[in-house]
Amino acid sequence: MTMPTDLLQRLTGLVGPTGVVTDGSDLEPYAVDWRKLFPGKPACVVRPSSTEQVAGIVQVCREAGVAIVPQGGNTGLAGGAVPDASGTQVVLSLNRMGAIRHVDPVGLTIEAEAGCILKVAQDAAAADGRLLPISLAAEGSATIGGVVAANAGGVNVLRYGMTRSLVLGLEVVLPDGTVANGLRRLRKDNAGYDWKQLFIGSEGTLGIVTAAVLRLLPRPKHSVTALISVADPPAALRLLALSQDELGDQISAFELISATSMQLVAKHAGLKAPIAEGEWFVLIEAAASLAGLREAADTMLGAAFEQEIALDGVIAESVAQAAQLWALREHVTESEAREGRSVKHDVSVPLTEVPRFLSEAGNALAAGAPGTRVNAFGHLGDGNIHYNILVGPDHDAGVVNRIVHDVVAAFGGSISAEHGIGQYRVGELARYRASTEMNLARAIKRALDPDNRLNPGKVLLP
C-alpha cells in the first residue's frame, strides 16, 4: 500500500477500526463501477458514520495532500464514484450514514442522510401515504447522496423533474473540511445565492453531500399502465401528443423501447411483451388521486387504434400486470450487459427531434461503424434516449462515441441527459461544450477546491 501509515492511523482514530477498509478483497466492491469499465485501486476505504466524521476525514486528507472519491451505492454508469488506478485515492463511502431523520406528511418533506438507500426513502414516504417520485432501475442500491450528487433522472422526470427539482435543503462537507448546513425544509427561500444547486449534479467534485431534505408529493390513489406497439418513432411522438390530450398532466412516464431491447430482454431475462411484436413499444404510466383515470386511458388507447397510431396495445388490469409491463423496461440494462460489449450514450435532443435523431444516428453508424447494432430505449417523454450500441471486439468505442455525439451536437442536444460525466465522458464534454462554459465550470471548481482534491479526474480536468 502506498498510503502513509500516520494517515491511516489518523483516519482509524476518526472512524474506528471497522470504519476503515484496507484489505484486497474487501476493497473490491468499492474499487470498480457496476459495468466494470473503470477498475480502480483505492488507498483505502473510509466509512464515516456522521457528518462530523466526514468533515474530519476531509481535513485529515487535505493536510496529507490526499485525494478523496466520495461514493454512495456505486450504481453510476459513468465511473464517477470510483478511484483511479494509482492506489493513492481514499474512497469515502457514505454507506454507514443511512438514517431517515424525519418524514413530514403535511409539510411534504423527508430528510435523509446521504447513505440512505433510495428505495428505503421511497418506502418511508409511502408508509405515510406520500410519494418520493424519484424512480430508477437502481433504486434498491442507489443512495440519496449519490442521487443528489448525480442529479439523477429516471422514469418520472417528465412529471416531477430531475432530482434537482425535489431538493429543498442540503448539508455538504466542503473541500476545506467545513460543513455548509442548508438543511432547511422551506418551500420558499429566496435569500441570496441558492448555493445548494452547485452541488446537485456536480458528482462529488465540489463537496460531499451528507444529508438532504427532499420534497414529497401526495401519493396518487390510482394509476394506469399501458404498453403499446407502434410502427416507428414518429408514431410514438403522435402517441405522446394523444396521451397529453387525453391524460394531460397525469402522465408520469412515457418510455420508448425498441424491438432490439425487447429481444434482449426476451433472450436474457425470459420476459416477453404480452402484445404483438412491433418495431417500437411505448410504456405509459399515468397516476391521479381523483377517479376517471382508467376511462381516460381507454379513450386514449381507443383513439390510438382509430388513428392507426397503435399497432397493438394493452392496459394492465392489475398491479401485478402493471409490474410485469414495467419489468420489460427495467430489464433492458441488465440484458444488454449480458449480451456482451456495448458502448452507451445517454443523449437528449429537443423532444420533437427524437425521430430524426434516431434515423440520422442510425445512418451515420451504418456508414462509419458497420457491424454494430443499436439498442435504443429510454425516456422519450423527456427527449432522452439511451442510444446504446452493441459492438464486437474490434469496434473502437471512441469512434462510435464520436459518430453518435456528432449527430447529437448537430441537433443541439446533450451528450449526457441524466447519467452525468464521471470519467467516462470527461473528454467528450470538453469537446462538445463551449470553452466559455467549460471555463466557467473550472472557475467554480477552483474557487471551491483549489487543490483539486475532491474526486479529481471526474467531470472536468483542471
Is 401 near ligand 2HG (CB under 6 A)? no
Phi, psi of 405 (to 5 degrees): -70, -30
- The CB-of-133 to ligand 2HG minimum distance in angstroms stands at 15
Name the E strands within 174-221: 179-182, 208-215, 217-218
Gyration radius (Cα) of the chain, Å:
23
- The CB-of-27 to ligand 2HG minimum distance in angstroms stands at 26
Residue that is written with C-alpha cell 431517515 in the block:
100
Using the minimum distance from each CB to ligand 2HG, give the nearer residue, 338 or 446: 338
Residues 6+ apart with CB under 8 A from 194: none
Is 420 near ligand 2HG (CB under 6 A)? no
Is 151 near ligand 2HG (CB under 6 A)? no
DSSP secondary structure letters along 217-252: EEPPSEEEEEEEEESSHHHHHHHHHHHHHHHGGGEE
Task: Tell me the one-letter amino acid at 232.
Answer: D
Task: Tell me the one-letter amino acid at 94.
Answer: L
CB of 383 within 8 A of CB of 351?
yes
- The CB-of-386 to ligand 2HG minimum distance in angstroms stands at 4
Is 416 near ligand 2HG (CB under 6 A)? no
**Which residue's Cβ lies closest to ligand 2HG?**
333
Is 344 near ligand 2HG (CB under 6 A)? yes
Using the minimum distance from each CB to ligand 2HG, give the nearer residue, 79 or 378: 378
User: Judged by CB under 6 A, how many residues of this single chain contact ligand 2HG?
Assistant: 7
Closest CA to 345 of 428, 236, 438: 428
Binding mask 64-83 for ligand 2HG (x = CB under 6 A): -------------x------
- The helix-helix angle for 319-330 and 332-339 (nearest 10°) equals 40
CB of 222 within 8 A of CB of 181?
no
Residue that is written with C-alpha cell 401519493 in the block:
219
Of 333, 401, 416, 423, which lies in the binding site for ligand 2HG, with binding defined by CB under 6 A? 333
Is 414 near ligand 2HG (CB under 6 A)? no
Residue that is written with C-alpha cell 409490474 in the block:
323
- The CB-of-255 to ligand 2HG minimum distance in angstroms stands at 8
Using the minimum distance from each CB to ligand 2HG, give the nearer residue, 388 or 455: 388
Contacts of ligand 2HG in 372-391 (CB under 6 A): 378, 386, 388
- The CB-of-320 to ligand 2HG minimum distance in angstroms stands at 21
Is 278 near ligand 2HG (CB under 6 A)? no
Task: Write out the residues near ligand 2HG by the rule CB under 6 A.
Answer: 77, 137, 333, 344, 378, 386, 388
